[in-house]
Amino acid sequence: MKETPSESLPQGVHRRIFGHLPDGRAVEAVTLVNTQGASATVIAYGATLQSMIVPNREGTLADVTLGHATLAEYLANTAYFGSSVGRVANRIAGGRFVLDGVAHQAPCNNGPNALHGGPGGFDKALWEIVAVGDAPAPFVRLAHTSLDGDQGFPGTLQVTAEYALGDDGALAITYRAKTDRPTLVNMTNHAYWNLAGEGAAASAMDHVLTIPAEHFLPTDETAIPTGDFAPVAGTPFDFREPRVIGAHVRDTCHDQIRIGRGYDHNWVIARERADAPRLLARLAHPPSGRMLEVLSTEPGVQFYSGNFLDGSLIGKRGQAYGMGDGVALEPQMFPDTPNRPEFGSIRLEPGEEYCHRLVFAFSADG
**The dihedral of CA 234, 238, 240, 244: what is its sign?**
positive
**Taking Cα atoms as reference points, which of 242, 246, 250, 262 lies closest to residue 206?**
246
Mean pLDDT confidence for 251-262 = 93
Is a pLDDT exceeding 90 seen at residue 162?
yes
Burial of 189-198, coded b for 16+ CB within 10 Å and e otherwise, reads bbbbbbbbbb
Q: Is 330 a catalytic residue?
A: yes
Note the pLDDT tens digit of each residue in 206-223.
Answer: 999 999 999 999 999 999
Mean pLDDT confidence for 30-35 = 97
Among residues 144, 190, 265, 356, the one annotated as catalytic is 190
Segments making up each domain of the chain, as ranges: 6-364
Secondary-structure percent of the chain, ordered helix, strand, coil, rounded to 5: 10, 40, 50
Is a pLDDT exceeding 80 seen at residue 28?
yes
**Measured CA distances, 348 to 106, 127, 153, 158 (Å):** 17, 21, 12, 12
Is a pLDDT exceeding 70 seen at residue 359?
yes
Among residues 68, 298, 330, 356, the one annotated as catalytic is 330
Structure confidence at residue 3 (pLDDT): 47
pTM (two decimals)? 0.96
**The dihedral of CA 333, 338, 343, 349: what is its sign?**
positive
Structure confidence at residue 2 (pLDDT): 44
Note the pLDDT tens digit of each residue in 311-329.
Answer: 999 999 999 999 999 999 9
Using DSSP's 3-state secondary structure scheme, residue 284 falls into strand
**Taking Cα atoms as reference points, which of 99, 78, 1, 92 lies closest to residue 41?**
1
Is a pLDDT exceeding 80 seen at residue 232?
yes
DSSP designation for 65: B
Q: Is 190 a catalytic residue?
A: yes
- Would you identify the CATH topology of the domain 6-364? Beta-galactosidase; Chain A, domain 5 (2.70.98)
